[in-house]
Structure 1
Amino acid sequence: MTADLIAVVLLLAVAAYACGGGTDYGAGFWDLTAGGTERGRRPRWLIDHAMAPVWEVNNVWLIFVLVIMWTGFPVLFQTVFSAMWLPLALAAMGLVLRGAGFAFRKPTQRLAGRRLYGALFAVASVVTPFFLGAAVGGVASGRAARGTEASADAWANPTSVMFGLVAIATTALLGAVFLTGDARRFDAPDLVGYFRLRALSALAVLTVLAVITGFVTHEDSPHVWRGLTHGLGLLFVVLAGVAALATAWLLLRTPSAWLRVAAVAVVACAVIAWGMAQRPYLIPTSLTVADAAGAPATLTWLAIVTLVALVVVMPAVALLYWLDTHGELEELTEAELRSGSGADGEGAPPGG
């Protein structure tokens, strides 16, 4: 019972990272495709301002996923990281390069340096979700079975390739949807239309890829296919489809908070559908939840620690997002710093 509970927590953590981290990766995707220096200046300006306050916090969910895997399901952790160490290492490298590129490109004074760091940020934002998706595909197809040695087949198979492409399209959708709302918040009507069009395009591409992935899964991962077409798996597939239709409808209207909710629901329901489709396996059809679980005492303490962490972390994360969406985390301009309007509220620098 405890093992099943921790497995649900793991699935929800993966969904949270897919939504939170996916939004950041999507912003990087649109940074990569924004065009040259002059053409891409405005979109990149919005991406920088929208991401700056919150981009690091989304990696909390990735750490949470790794801790639960390592502690709660050590056999799963060992199996996945042994069979697919290469794509996971490339994804980790992408995370590091992406963070470095985003952190250093803005303060760098030389144009060549800004271009270099910007390229690192943008390219890594596409490469990282692809390899993470490919690793998930290796799990879903059952190729990362217990005792499997590392090989290209574990992650360079049809299911993995499609999962990787779906991951990129998913991040592109989330990034464009959130940037559409941010463009409205920053009073940039030209960018509202710019990112709305890209969100609709990403949704169309994602829909096509999802259909193709269904056909690939039918042949390459029959257990997951059956789970997606029956029971809870089918329910969440339908919910993801409904959320996708709602997202398309809301994109054609004035952007609102409901647009973000609908887009997040698409991704969250899709991830949960995959998890429900694999039941009772963590790796179909070789490793069940019960077989992969750690010691009962460890699982009990992990459940307690998880509850405490959620009570402490969730309100802080919610507050951070609230402050960001209400414009409370904007950087002070040079004029504000000189006037002291952001320092002591009196219009003069402290001690002046």
Structure 2
Amino acid sequence: MDYQYIGITVLWTFLYGYIIVGAIDFGAGFFMLYAKITKQDHLISSLVSRYLNPVWEVTNVFLVFFFVGIVGFFPDTAYYFGSTLLIPGTVALLLLAIRGGFYAFETYGKDSKFAWIFLYGMTGLLIPAAFSTVLTISEGGFIQKTDTGVKLDWFELLMSPYSWAVVFLAVISVLYISSGFLTYYAHKAGDTAAYKLMRQWFLIWAGPMLIICQFVFLSLRQHNEEHFNNAVTHYWWLFGLSIVFFIAAVVLILLKKFHGLAFIMIMIQFALAFYGYGLSKLPYILYPYVNIDKAVVNDNMAIALVIVFILGLLLLIPSLLLLLRLFIFDADYVKGNKK
């Protein structure tokens, strides 16, 4: 049995979970900062705080599972990515630590200083930009293998159109997903002022979301033609369906109807595109060095890891759903009547 394909599917699901949950968190931070600067913070601050308080502690669990699993299943990734991602990885961890500091001050402090809100808002954009470097490098062409090890060609990375397209995709996706969820959340809370503001932001970011996806595809064709051809030849239908769900979500929010369904469609939209990207890239994790057919651990370890991570997924997802049910979507909590 090809345990490596089961393993990478489970790990990809963890990463998808982090993208959705993390994007809501990251985008909420930026919207809080923007609202503070434009004197609109009184409209959304309480709404965002009600969402963040129960959820922020579990957001990074998805990410931890993914990185531990990817190294466990495919040890070669530690060698190649560990050496080349030292700087962006350190930056991302530092930014995560800053966000953790904000959560502590927000939760246990009596008031939030503007400096903390500024750091919280900016890290919401910088963290996904830093993490997007991993996907960029995985397309190949940026790592040089020498007699002394591997090194990252920073000049090539910074000059690559594909690299910047992925960075902008990460940032815009965060703002798009977050505004979509917060639109639904504000509507559920009956907060008319916050709803109007978040709906406006969602509609503003929907256009750039569609445009940047086209730029990513065009730049991928130039950077890694093999991956591009595989995507458009065999998995075009996944990306096509993704656009259909995108249009459906935008139309529902334009019509101010079925906001919960609209956000589910946003999640499906990203799931289709994300899994389409992953499937079209197989069997490579890192072109051309890490191939999951060759770089996987032995069968006994692979079976153990598959079992452990499936159990982890089965534990984490129901726990998150229970958390959402008890707090986020509780009728009294969502309206701010219960703390």
Would you say same fold, with TM above 0.5? yes
Same amino acid, percent of matched pairs = 20
Q: Structure 1 residue 303 and structure 2 residue 283: aligned?
A: no
* Secondary structure in 2 matching 1:262: helix
Aligned length: 333
Matches within 5 A, 1:42-57: 42-57=43-58
The answer as to 2:113 corresponding to 1:114 is: yes
The partner residue of 1:266 within 258, 266, 269 is 269
Q: Residue 76 of structure 2 contacts residue 295 of structure 2 at CA under 8 Å; is this kept in 1? A: yes
CA–CA distance in 2 between the matches of 1:204 and 1:134? 24
Where do 1:100-249 residues align within 5 Å?
100-105=101-106, 107-109=108-110, 114-144=113-143, 147-153=149-155, 155-156=157-158, 157-232=160-235, 234-249=236-251
CA-to-partner distance for each residue in 1:187-228, whole Å, 9 max, x for gaps?
A: 211211211111111111111111111111111121221122
Counterpart residue number, 2:6 = 5
Cα distance in 2 for residues equivalent to 1:26 and 1:329: 24
Cα RMSD over matched residues?
A: 2.4
Deviates more, 1:221-230 or 1:174-183: 221-230
Offset of 1:66 from its aligned partner?
0.9
Distance 2:247 2:33 in 1: 27
1 CA distance for matches of 2:244 and 2:144?
34
- 1:80/1:144 contact within 8 Å kept: no
Higher helix share: 2
CA distance in 2, matches of 1:154, 1:96: 29
Secondary structure of 1:149's aligned partner: strand
Question: How big is the shift at 1:288?
Answer: 0.9
Once the two structures are overlaid, the 10-residue window that deviates more, 9-18 or 148-157, is 148-157
- Do the aligned partners of 1:174 and 1:263 also contact (CA within 8 Å) in 2? yes
SS in 1 for 2:57: coil
Q: Distance in 2 between matches of 1:265 and 1:323?
A: 24
Q: Structure 1: give runs of 5+ residues left out of the alignment.
A: 337-341, 343-352
Please state how far the C-alpha of 1:141 moved relative to its aligned partner: 4.0
What displacement does 1:183 show? 0.9
Deviation at 1:251, TM superposition (A): 1.1
Highest RCO, 1 vs 2 (Cα 8 Å, sep ≥ 6): 2
Q: Is the 8 A contact 2:43 2:193 kept in 1?
A: no
Take 2:199 and 2:334, find their aligned partners in 1: how far apart are those partners? 26
**Structure 2 portions without partners, runs of 5+:** none
Instruction: Specify whether residues 63 and 101 from structure 1 end up closer, same or farther in structure 2 by C-alpha distance, changes over 3 A only.
Output: same
The structure-2 alpha-carbon separation of the partners of 1:2 and 1:205, relative to structure 1 and needing over 3 Å to count, comes to same
Give, in angstroms, the shift of residue 53 of structure 1.
1.4
Contact 1:217 1:225 in 2 (8 A): yes
**Cα drift, residue 310 of structure 1:** 2.6
Q: Is the 8 A contact 1:84 1:135 kept in 2?
A: yes
SS of equivalent residue, structure 1 residue 290: coil
Kindly state the Cα deviation for residue 81 of structure 1 after the two structures are TM-superposed: 2.1
Q: Which amino acid aligns with 1:15?
A: Y
Give, in whole Å, the separation in 1 of the partners of 2:27 and 2:203.
Answer: 14
> In the alignment, which residue of structure 2 is the partner of 1:70?
71
Partner in structure 2 of residue 345 of structure 1: none
CA deviation after TM superposition for structure 1 residue 255, in Å:
4.5
Q: Deviations over 1:29-72 (max 9, x none)?
A: 21232242733222222211222111222211101101111211
**Match of 2:297, SS?**
coil
**CA distance in structure 1 between the aligned counterparts of 2:331 and 2:320, rounded to whole angstroms:** 14
Amino acid at match of 1:240: S
Q: CA deviation at 1:314?
A: 2.5
Deviation at 1:138, TM superposition (A): 1.4
Higher radius of gyration, 1 or 2? 1
* Matched position secondary structure for 1:257: helix
| Partner secondary structure for residue 55 of structure 2 | coil
TM-score by length of 1: 0.87
Check conservation: 1:177, 1:260, Cα contact below 8 A: yes
Deviation at 1:102, TM superposition (A): 2.9
Spell out the pairing of 1:250-261 with structure 2 (5 A cutoff): 250-252=252-254, 253-261=256-264
Output the amino acid matched with 1:318.
L
Q: Is the 8 A contact 1:218 1:225 kept in 2?
A: yes
Instruction: Give the drift of 1:306.
Output: 1.6
Q: How many angstroms does 1:2 deviate by?
A: 0.7
CA deviations over 1:240-278 (Å, ceiling 9, x no partner): 111111111111123421111011112222221211121
Question: How far apart, CA to CA, are the structure 2 residues paired with 1:22 and 1:77?
Answer: 25
Maintained 8 Å contact 2:84/2:143: yes
Measured in 1, the distance between the counterparts of 2:244 and 2:25 equals 24
